[in-house]
Structure 1
């Protein structure tokens, strides 16, 4: 069943739109606070569609993601009880917050680097950093390094892959899409129990 190929074609068209950078940077900002969709989903096709601007897109995504991280930190430190806690309870994220807090205790600032570079939900850790009173500037610097490495890696892969990457992606996009959904479902049910 080919549902991802038409979506991929639409995303590639949207990535060439004049307002695409604005939406990329907005997504990068809100993804660090509450948005569930990773920035890479917009960054990769934009870097592929406009390879001459890929590094600018990666830098902008990094800056706005870290600014969003600072906002998440503020929410955790100053507005946890009135804003964050009701949201966590509504979404059923209590377990994720407990896990994040235990990771902070065990690994300290390295958990920010891990969360900023890997697919682990960064937003949980930006808010938890504020809740736990992590020192702000080391938090920002570590987030900047991790996010920058991730977004520049994505942009770099698109630039280096070029048209060959675009051809391969368009050929295998449906298989990749279904594998991602299956992996997410397995991860969800594994973590749920």
Structure 2
């Protein structure tokens, strides 16, 4: 299995040296969002190493294709995902994932899109649990775009010398950014609830005596 994945990665990287490299990147990003096992970062990093000046363009292509692939995965989940989940995942775990989505909604997709977590798991399950499609697309664009443009930005500004750093620490950087993202969401949520509570208390205090 390991040798098969290694050969598949080598096959993906080989596309970077062909005239169809950008098209291959788009196809890979689309497929990985719903069923393909190799993440598009493999080809994206290779292309950015070869041509750092085009890094932002590669990130744009990768993001657009990945979001479209996520929409395809959402469709798989909406119209056939539940039977697939019940076949390969226990009912207890399905219910746990469903509770997770009910608590965090589409932002779970956005965070997963930025981290090393397999994105396809979240796109298919998002359709299965009927998350709002428009908000799902927005969260996908923010999560995937954040990850790919982070890679592209490093190559665009620092060029080839940053390559080893990106390959070694990309997943760590993604996880750290996701933690900060979650912390930001939690802070905004806490502040909103606090403001709402203060407003209600102030209204109650000003309520005239009968």
TM, length-normalised to structure 2: 0.66
Whole-angstrom CA distance in 1 between matches of 2:93 and 2:29: 21
**How far 1:51 sits from its partner (Å)?**
1.6
Whole-angstrom CA distance in 1 between matches of 2:42 and 2:71: 22
Whole-angstrom CA distance in 1 between matches of 2:109 and 2:45: 23
Q: Are residues 1:62 and 2:63 paired?
A: yes
Question: What RMSD, in angstroms, separates the aligned Cα atoms of the two structures?
Answer: 3.0
Deviations 1:88-120 (A, max 9, x none): 74xx45587555433212311210111111111
Indicate the residue corresponding to 2:137 in structure 1: 140
Whole-angstrom CA distance in 2 between matches of 1:97 and 1:38: 24
Q: Are residues 1:15 and 2:12 paired?
A: no
Whole-angstrom CA distance in 2 between matches of 1:128 and 1:73: 7
Structure 1 unaligned runs (5+)? 1-7, 177-193
Whole-angstrom CA distance in 2 between matches of 1:10 and 1:164: 24
Q: Are residues 1:108 and 2:105 paired?
A: yes
Indicate the residue corresponding to 1:44 in structure 2: 45
Whole-angstrom CA distance in 1 between matches of 2:119 and 2:32: 8
Structure (1 or 2) with the larger CA radius of gyration: 2
Structure 2 unaligned runs (5+)? 1-8, 169-210
Whole-angstrom CA distance in 1 between matches of 2:53 and 2:32: 25
- Secondary structure class of the residue paired with 2:161: helix
Whole-angstrom CA distance in 1 between matches of 2:129 and 2:12: 38
Whole-angstrom CA distance in 1 between matches of 2:12 and 2:121: 27
**How far 1:29 sits from its partner (Å)?**
0.3
**How far 1:165 sits from its partner (Å)?**
2.4
Whole-angstrom CA distance in 2 between matches of 1:33 and 1:12: 20
The question of whether the paired residues in 2 share the 8 Å contact of 1:16 and 1:50 is answered with no
Whole-angstrom CA distance in 2 between matches of 1:151 and 1:116: 10
Q: Are residues 1:160 and 2:157 paired?
A: yes
Deviations 1:18-60 (A, max 9, x none): 1111111111001000111111111011012112221111001
TM, length-normalised to structure 1: 0.71
Whole-angstrom CA distance in 2 between matches of 1:97 and 1:60: 33
The question of whether the paired residues in 1 share the 8 Å contact of 2:77 and 2:126 is answered with yes
Q: Larger relative contact order (C-alpha < 8 A, sep ≥ 6)?
A: 1
Whole-angstrom CA distance in 2 between matches of 1:15 and 1:103: 38
